[in-house]
Structure 1
């Protein structure tokens, strides 16, 4: 009979309930190879939500906290990968946050190992899905913005192979998504350290995913008045206006949302009108699903967001007399979108109709 084949990179896993306690003991072994093999086996196990819950409930998190500061780079790397996998489960995110693992995990952002840094960014991005997680990461925002600038400099300095470029783009997307969630909680830390300028440089990136996340973060940072002012000061609006013609609907929606926010202040209105944004916004409002075209729900949601944000931007811009005069010529389009002409859509179109009605009220307002 042929011998049983075993994987030398993984620790043998005991049966049933004995599996995790045995691996937990091996995590404390003085030999780095034993610790690495135990971590590799745990990575395989915690894809299962039940195993992830057992790992958390049986005290593995405290050991992982120590392993993040292990003297062996491979151990630190595998520990960050394990935490990334645990953070894919709600129980893992809660445990990561309550167990005080954020400080030692974030200390690995400067690790020389690219795969380690990537796992850290994945874990942080998933942790930011929790409102409490995004709140806890607010002190990290200046550092994350600095890492974003460093990634940009490295890309400009060196020629990379396609695989390396894809990995770097993944890290940039993770960074931006984490920043966007943190900024939605509180934009002040990002505004205080040049967040608008840093995000603005990402808006013209070749990757649609990077543009999408950068525009989402820009939309979030433009909510407070200071954010709107910085969007005007940093000359971001010309790039955002160009993104209204982007091939990615989510990029368009986030760009329209930022313009919507910025057009609330007078300076934002004037800059938008100087950039001749009205025809572009009207074009987005007039786009409709072609007859017989079937779209996935996610695509329909993105299309609705583009239209809603464009209508709200038009409502803000219509407060300027010059914009109102032009929009009066397009009242039939706005009234059609508002449902005044008797064209009723489904329940999901109600948000579009409300935004269109507001735009009609502002455009037709007389003193």
Structure 2
């Protein structure tokens, strides 16, 4: 005979910290209403539930359409630490989806997030920088960050933020500087990046060198890299134990030595020797391509061309490389090295 027994345990799918989600099409509208509640616990639970839903891009699309972004923008000013943390976490998750990034641009989320750049909660700041990083992956997003005037603030944060957040900021800056490096150059970003090249963290060294690649695309960037004596530091990084650091250092050198001053600064730092060592050490495709192009730039100077004459056989071997870009780069290098006035 069956007996009715009541378990002492909670059902496994009930989370007391999360708001109950309404059925079907009422789920997000109900949560949006709860986000605007005057009751702190209601707002907190709604945010926890929203974090779970925002992993699905269809829910992100619906949330934007019913005005959730406006509710979240208001919650960024909330006095409660947990509310601000979970709000930025929701936005971070939304920013991982294309539809979320587009929504940010249409609803002014970039400026709203910037109000939390100095928030005393580290997790809150980390979430907002993650959101900016994902946003910058879109060219429109990078342009949006630049046009919002945030580049100087992000550059200054490189000195005061924790190491993990510095990495995220550098990831954000690189694509933004490819769009427009003007504000970064006027904010003295180059010496900040130089300082990060000396970090003990290989990820920060790598990302700083990547940011230098972007900032040295315009002529003023090339000039500042030379003026702030960054070139000798980049030459030292060619012997770094990390492949990505080597690749990005070679890439930054490739841009910096386009100018005459840059060429001679690199030659004075004996750049050719470590560059050739990299080229002969079976490097990755990225390292090989950047090194070949950097050497080609140095070969444009008579002194560089003279030093590279004996290395022409190495470049001839690269002409048989499986990568077509490296083949073309090697051909150009040989032409420049063998050119006679």
The TM-score by the shorter chain falls in which range?
Answer: over 0.9
Cα deviation digits, residues 249-275 of structure 1 (max 9, x gap): 121111101111111111111111111
* TM-score after normalising by structure 2: 0.94
Tell me the CA shift for residue 225 of structure 1: 1.1
| Corresponding residue for residue 206 of structure 2 | 212
Hey, what's the Cα distance between the residues in 2 that align with 1:237 and 1:102? Answer: 34
> Is 2:105 the partner of 1:97?
yes
State the partner residue of 1:243.
Answer: 237
Deviation of the 1:238 alpha carbon: 1.4
**Alignment partner of 1:4 out of 2, 6, 11:** 11
What's the secondary structure of 1:206's corresponding residue? coil
TM-score (norm. length: structure 1): 0.87
How many angstroms does 1:282 deviate by?
1.1
1:229-249 alpha-carbon deviations (Å, 9 max, x no partner): 111111111111111111221
Partner residue of 1:175 out of 154, 158, 169: 169
Name the structure 1 match of 2:152. Answer: 142
The 2-side partners of 1:351 and 1:277 are apart by 23
Q: Aligned-pair distance for 1:108?
A: 0.3
CA–CA distance in structure 1, aligned partners of residues 172 and 153 of structure 2: 12
The equivalent residue for 1:53 is 61
Alignment of 1:110-129 (within 5 A): 110-129=118-137
Give a deviation string over 1:278-324, Cα, whole Å, max 9, x none.
Answer: 011111222227xxxxxxxxxxxxx1111111111111111111211
| 1:188-267 matched pairs, under 5 angstroms | 188-267=182-261
Which one of the candidate residues 311, 325, 338 is aligned to 1:351? 325
The RMSD of aligned alpha carbons is 1.3
1:212 CA drift (Å)? 1.3
2:327 equivalent to 1:327: no
Distance in 1, Cα, partners of 2:107 & 2:53? 21
Take 1:61 and 1:217, find their aligned partners in 2: how far apart are those partners? 31
Structure 1 regions of 5+ residues with no counterpart? 152-167, 290-302, 340-344
Which of 73, 80, 86 lines up with 2:94 in the alignment?
Answer: 86
Alpha-carbon distance in structure 2 between the residues aligned to 1:104 and 1:280 = 47
How many pairs were matched up? Answer: 331
| More displaced stretch, 228-237 vs 54-63 | 54-63
Deviation at 1:277, TM superposition (A): 0.8
| Residue pair 1:204, 1:211 contacting (<8 A) in 2 also | yes
The Cα shift of 1:204 comes to 1.5
- Equivalence for 1:316: 297
Q: CA deviation at 1:71?
A: 3.2
> Structure 1 segments of 4 or more deviating over 4 A?
none
Question: Tell me, what secondary structure is at the counterpart of 2:204?
Answer: helix
- Quick check: 1:69–1:104 contact (8 Å CA) kept in 2? no
Task: Give the Cα separation in 2 of the matches to 1:4 and 1:331.
Answer: 73
Deviations 1:35-62 (A, max 9, x none): 0110000001111222222222222112
Give runs of aligned pairs for residues 8-23 of structure 1, distance below 5 A: 8-23=16-31
Distance in 1, matches of 2:208 and 2:53, equals 34
For the 8 Å contact 1:49–1:89, the answer to whether it is kept is yes
Instruction: Quote how far apart the aligned CAs of 1:176 are.
Output: 0.7
Match of 1:268 in 2: 262
C-alpha displacement at 1:208, in angstroms? 1.4
* Partner residue of 1:337 out of 318, 338, 341: 318
